[in-house]
Amino acid sequence: MMNADLRRERAAATFQTELLTHILDGGAERTRRRKEIEALVLNDPDFQHEDLNFLSRSQRYEQAIRKSALMVMKLREYGIADPEEIYWFKSFVHRGRPEPLDLHLGMFLPTLLTQATPEQQDRFFMPAWNLEIIGTYAQTEMGHGTHLRGLETTATYDPATQEFILNSPTVTSIKWWPGGLGKTSNHAIVLAQLYTQGQCKGLHAFIVPIRQLGTHEPLPAGLKAFTSWTANAGIEECRMACGGHGYSRCSGIPDIYVTFTPSCTYEGENTVMMLQTARFLVKSYTQVSSGQRVTGMVSYLNDLSRQRIQPQHVAARTVTVRINDPVHESFRKHLKPMQAKL
């Protein structure tokens, strides 16, 4: 129901509002078609407006994903394929709120259409159109938004394997903000500086699988454990840096801590995920050591002979300390006199 004051003001307009509507829509026929599409949504019981105010974040996400899935089925049922008509339908289904497929429809598909080669389109566009592939757009980094030339993520071409190795090596190069990355997408278009034959060729877009298509499990599995532990340690560091205030609820940090720490347990308990990842890596390493080649995300191990692989800490904190390591020499110095006394 339109507000009575609004209706009165509109009726008092000094021009024909209908004509302005036609101009904005691009003609009377487009207005008719828009209203027809809007009516499909408004009269559909599946899309009735519900009160989201008392739902939790997870419940809102579930509602939105249910609506998006229904929306795609109905778009197909009605044969709506024109991008503008899809936009009208979508706007009415989600009533102007962001929805899980926003980035897929608004950035992933258009980027494929405008920047992919015909071969790349053959491989990715139809699966993406059919929502087998759901994509997001990962351009912004923690340290670089407007300043695009400063993006630090690299994609280095390896002629031996004909693969691109993507790397975000620093905190400032962490991809930040991509809508739908956390739960919905299984692929991302990642903007990175292309390096080949030792030269930087500037920013290019790369399609990177991030979840398994069949199971929607994140790739690689250990990454979730690593990132959630790192974030946990970061929150704790912030708390400690604030001294006593960090402990106080006024700082907001305890709430962040309590909300975030369960992520180390749900959607795959971190220790178990790290053990699974380690088992998989050791198995792949053994295969490579015995002369077999491995594929996919562990194909970098094929490079063992050239020793380009460097050990990296994967846990946020070192869990064991080898007291015989040279770095702990000073500790030993203090230990020896103590041992002598005992």
- Phi then psi for residue 155, to 5 deg, are -125, 105
Instruction: Please list the residues that pair with 157 across neighbouring strands.
Output: 164
In the complex with ligand FAD, the residue whose CB is nearer, 91 or 261, is 91
Site residues, ligand FAD (CB under 6 A): 103, 137-140, 145-146, 177-179
Helix (H) or strand (E) holding 118: helix 118-129
- Beta strands 187-196; 163-167: pairing state: unpaired
DSSP string, 195-226: EETTEEEEEEEEEEE-B-TTT--BSSTHHHHH
- Helix (H, G, I), strand (E, B), or coil: what is residue 154? strand
In whole angstroms, what is the distance from residue 274 CA to residue 240 CA?
27
Nearest Cα to 225, choosing from 236, 237, 216, 217? 217
Tell me the closest approach of the beta carbon of residue 310 to ligand FAD, in angstroms: 28
Tell me, what DSSP letter sits at residue 169? -
* Residue whose entry in the numeric block shows the structure tokens 């159109």: 129
Maximum C-alpha span of the chain: 100
Tell me the closest approach of the beta carbon of residue 99 to ligand FAD, in angstroms: 13
Tell me the closest approach of the beta carbon of residue 136 to ligand FAD, in angstroms: 6
In the complex with ligand FAD, the residue whose CB is nearer, 41 or 191, is 191
- Phi then psi for residue 167, to 5 deg, are -145, 125
In the complex with ligand FAD, the residue whose CB is nearer, 139 or 270, is 139
267 is catalytic: yes
In the complex with ligand FAD, the residue whose CB is nearer, 41 or 190, is 190
Tell me the closest approach of the beta carbon of residue 153 to ligand FAD, in angstroms: 11
Tell me the closest approach of the beta carbon of residue 132 to ligand FAD, in angstroms: 21
Which residue of the set 38, 84, 217, 267 is catalytic?
A: 267
- Phi then psi for residue 306, to 5 deg, are -90, 0
Q: Are 124 and 112 in contact (CB under 8 A)?
A: yes
Both tokens of 223, joined, read 């990454």
In the complex with ligand FAD, the residue whose CB is nearer, 145 or 262, is 145
- Beta strands 154-158; 163-167: pairing state: antiparallel
In the complex with ligand FAD, the residue whose CB is nearer, 106 or 254, is 106
- Helix (H, G, I), strand (E, B), or coil: what is residue 42? helix
In whole angstroms, what is the distance from residue 228 CA to residue 253 CA?
16
Tell me the closest approach of the beta carbon of residue 255 to ligand FAD, in angstroms: 22
Residue positions annotated with a catalytic role? 267
